[in-house]
Amino acid sequence: MLDLMTSPKLLAQAKSYFNDVQLKTDSHAPLITAQDKPQLSRSACAGRSSVAMIADAVGLWSRDGRRGVRRLDLPAGIGLLRWMMRDRFWLLTAALCLASPAAADPAQDRAAILTLVAQMEQAWNRGDFRGYMAGFSNPDVVFVSSGRFQDGWQGTLDHYVRDYGGSPRTRGTLHFYDMKIELLADDAAMLVGRYHLERPVRAAEGVNTRLFRKIAGRWVITLNHVSAHDVPSRPAAPVSERVPSAPAARQDPPSS
Per domain, the residue ranges of the chain are 2-99, 106-231
Is pLDDT of 234 > 50? yes
Contacts of 133 (CB under 8 A, 6+ apart): 153, 156, 157, 160
For residue range 114-131, list pLDDT tens digits in order: 999 999 999 999 999 999
For residue range 74-84, list pLDDT tens digits in order: 444 555 555 45
**pTM, 2 dp:** 0.55
CA distances, 80 to each of 26, 31, 172, 237 (Å): 16, 15, 59, 70
Contact 60, 45 (CB under 8 A): no
Topology classification of domain 106-231: Nuclear Transport Factor 2; Chain: A, (3.10.450)
Query: What pLDDT is stored for residue 216 in this prediction?
Result: 95
